[in-house]
Amino acid sequence: MNRLLTLAFLVLLALLPAVLFYYLFGELNKAGVEWSGKSVQLGGPVAAFFAILWFLGNMFRKMSPPNSLQKHLEGLAGAWAIESESQASRRQARSTTVMKIENGALRIEGGVFREVANEGDEGKSIGDWNTEIAVFDGYRLLYVYNLSDSQLEQWKGVVRASLNTIEKTPTFDGTWQVFGPRVHQGKIHMKKLMLKDTP
């Protein structure tokens, strides 16, 4: 309904100057449409109407609210808790990070992974990580990161995860892989921290 009202408003707004031109210049006006092969040539107030309509339409698109993907991106901005598990050793680790939207693109800051003890407490540091690039299409998240572990070995990592749309709090579930001196892989779970969850 809102789109229909906007369209009607733009048409009326473009029609007013065209009608005004027609009456101001009287007999000097030549309003018509000529067919030239497969193209249409417009003249007089008719041409003015379509030119103004095109201009107003462009203005409206630039002023219109962000698209659905932009809204999805804005929903990701904030602090996130990350839990991962290695497929081979079943070793679990935790980290936190911050997602930001800069110039319409997603940026993930990185953080520190810490080992999770049997009691669920965080133990020693496994390594620092930072993201090279992050891509989100509205449902799937992919990011490439660098990991420097406690033995100062360098790893290149890739995370592929899908957004869980059922849950009220945004979460991602997926897989991770790291490539370096060896190759490791496992599962990852990411949950956005709401204000009540942050310390």
Residue 86 has a pLDDT of 93
Instruction: Report the DSSP beta bridge partners of residue 35.
Output: 40
Residue 20 has a pLDDT of 62
Determine the Cα–Cα distance for residues 43 and 77; give it in Å rounded to an integer: 50
Give the helix/strand (H/E) hosting 196.
none
Instruction: Give the pairing type, strands 140-149 and 122-136.
Output: antiparallel
Determine the Cα–Cα distance for residues 2 and 6; give it in Å rounded to an integer: 6
- The domain limits of the chain are 2-64, 71-192
Helices (H) and strands (E) in the chain, counts: 3, 11
Instruction: Give the pairing type, strands 32-36 and 154-164.
Output: unpaired
Residue 2 has a pLDDT of 46
- This prediction has a pTM of 0.62
In tens, the pLDDT along 38-59 reads 555 555 555 555 666 666 666 5
CATH number of this structure's domain 71-192, picked from the four choices 1.50.40, 2.30.30, 2.40.128, 2.60.40: 2.40.128
Structure tokens, 122 = 């965080």
Instruction: Please report how many Cα atoms fall inside a 13 Å half-sphere around the Cα of residue 35, on the Cβ side.
Output: 2
pLDDT below 70 — which residues of the chain? Answer: 1-69, 119-121, 195-199
Question: How many angstroms separate the first and last alpha carbons of the chain?
Answer: 44
Residue 143 has a pLDDT of 95
**129: helix, strand or coil:** strand
